[in-house]
Structure 1
Amino acid sequence: MSHPEGRGNPEPVSASPHAIRLTSDARALASLIDHTLLRPEATRAQVEQFCDEALEAGFAAVCVNPAWAPVAAQRVRGSGVRVATVVGFPFGATSTVAKRAEAEAAILAGAQEVDMVMNVGAMRSGDPERVEYDICGVVELCHAAGVTLKVILENAYLTDAEKVAACEIAKRAGADFVKTSTGFGPHGATEADVRLMRQAVGPAMGVKAAGGIRTLSDALRMLQAGATRLGTSASLLILAEAAQLGAAG
C-alpha cells in the first residue's frame, strides 16, 4: 500500500512555516499544493494546525475529511487558502445520490473544492455511462455553487486504456480536474500516469497528482509530467527542501 497523501504524521514536523524562509520559488510551489490531512484518526487540534500551516505557507488549499470542513472553513475564512474536502472517499462505491448528498453538505459547510472518487467498479465493468452519470450529478451541484470539482480516478486499479477513458469522461462531464489517486490504494501518483492524463485531457483541464509525494524531487517530477496541483501531507518538508535549495542557489 502506498504512503497515503493524508496519512503522514499530523503532529508538528521539523519544518514549520515559521521556521522556513520561503523564497519566491518556494512560495510559487506552495500555491500549487493542497495541504492534506485525510487520516481517519485526525483530531480537531491537528486539523486546526494544518489550517494554520496552510495560512502561513500560502498553500492553494487545505484538504480535510468532510466532518472537519466546517472547522477548516472557519479557520481559513477571509484568506486566499481554499477549503477542499472529499466525496465518495476512498472507494467511490457509494451511490450517486449519496455522493450528491455529501457534496451538498460539504458546500453548505464551506468547502470550495470537492475531490470525488469516481465509480471505479463501473469503469472496470465497461460501463462508462454510469461513470459519467455519477460525475455529472456532482458536477451539477458543485458548479451551481461555484465550487471546483476534481475527479479521483484511482489509477492503481485501472488499465491505461481505462485511465484515458476516465479522463475523457470526466472532461466531458465538466469536471475541473482529474486526480490520480486517493492515497489509500495500492500506489499513488506516477509520472507515467500524470503524463497519460495530461495527454488525455489536453492543456486546459487541471491534473492533480496525489499519493506518495514526499519530497521536492517527487513534487517537481509530477509538475514536469503535467500536474497543475499536488496533494500531499508532506507539504512543509517539501517547502523546506525548496527553500534550502533556493538559499543554496
Structure 2
Amino acid sequence: MDLDNLQVKHVAKMIDNTVLKPFISNDDWLDICQKSMTYGFKTVAINNAGIAFCKKALEGSDVLVDAAVSFPLGQCTLETKCFETLDAIKKGAGEVDYVINMVELKNKNHDYIKKEMASIVDICRQHQVVSKVIFETCYLTKEEIVQLCQIANDIKPDFIKTSTGFGEYGARIEDVTIMRQYADEGIQIKASGGIRSLREFMAFLEAGATRIGTSSGVKIVKEYQQLKHNL
C-alpha cells in the first residue's frame, strides 16, 4: 500500500465508523449513518439491534452495516453465534465481526476454535458477506495469537481483528505486527480499540492493518484533509 499517495476517499474507506455504546438512541444511529455517508466510510459498526434501522438509513449509499456478533465477550455457544450471524445478515448486515470463544482457546481446545471459525465464516461466505474474527489480543500470549493466525490460515476469513475495544486495552502495533507476520497474505487485518488520531491510524497501516475500527473516524478524516491541504 502506497501510504504517501492515499487520497482522502481511500482513508475513509478503510474506516469502520463505530458506535457500540449501550446507551444510544435512534437519533445516535441516524447521526452516525449520516456522517458515514457524508465522509464515505466503509461501514457503520454497531450492535445488532440497530441493523435494520441503520440499513434503511444508509439506503442509496455504498456504506455497509457491520454487525458485532457475540459482542464483546464471545461467550455464546456456537449455535447461538451461528444464529446471530445469520439473523444479522438477514436484517441487512454486509459485514460481520465475531468474537472468538476465549475460554476454549485458553483450554487449548483448538478444534473448537477451528469449528467455530469455519462455521461462521462459511455462513458469511454463503451470503457474500465479509467475515472478521476478533482475537481480543489484550488477553492473549504471542503463542496464542500465532495459533489463531494458523487456524485462520486454514479457514481463510476475510479479516482477523485485534480487539473489541472493551478489553483491558485495544489495538497495539506489536500485536498487528505478529498477526501480519503469521497470517497468510490474503487475510487482511483490522485494528480497533483506542485509535483516535491520524498519527495512530497511519502507524497501524504501516504495521499491516488495512481496516481501522474507530469512533473517531470523522476526526481522522478531517486531520487527513488538513494534511493534504497543507502539502
TM range (shorter): over 0.9
Match of 1:183 among 154, 165, 169: 165
* Equivalent position of 2:133 in the other structure: 151
Q: Cα distance 1:208–1:173, how it changes in 2: closer, same or farther (>3 A)?
A: same
RMSD, aligned α-carbons: 1.2
| Matching residue's letter, 1:50 | I
- For the residue of structure 1 that corresponds to 2:41, the secondary structure is coil
Of residues 25, 32, 45, the one that matches 2:27 is: 45
Identity of aligned residues (%): 36
User: What is the aligned partner in structure 2 of residue 241 from structure 1?
Assistant: 223
Q: What is the aligned partner in structure 1 of residue 146 from structure 2?
A: 164
- Pick aligned residue for 1:201 from 170, 177, 183: 183
- Secondary structure at 1:230 match in 2: strand
2: CA distance, partners of 1:234 / 1:182: 15
Q: How many residues align?
A: 227
Counterpart among 55, 59, 63 of residue 41 in structure 2: 59
Tell me the amino acid that sits aligned with residue 123 of structure 1.
Answer: L
Question: How far 1:171 moved relative to its partner?
Answer: 2.9
- Aligned counterparts of 1:217 and 1:139: Cα–Cα separation in 2: 32
Distance in 1 (alpha carbons) for counterparts of 2:6 and 2:28: 28
In structure 2, the gaps of 5 or more residues are: none
Task: Choose from 121, 124, 128 the match for 2:103.
Answer: 121
Higher RCO (C-alpha 8 Å, min separation 6) = 1
8 Å contact 2:47–2:68 — kept in the other structure? yes
| Shift, 1:174, TM fit | 2.8
TM-score, normalised relative to structure 2? 0.95
Equivalent residues in 2 for 1:86-165, closer than 5 Å: 86-165=68-147
Deviates more, 1:70-79 or 1:203-212: 70-79
Please report the TM-score for the alignment, with normalisation by the length of structure 1. 0.89
1:96-148 superposed Cα distances (whole Å, 9 cap, x missing partner) = 00001100110110001000001112112111111111111111211111111
Alignment-derived partner of residue 215 in structure 1: 197
Offset of residue 24 of structure 1: 6.7
**Structure 2 partner of 1:7:** none
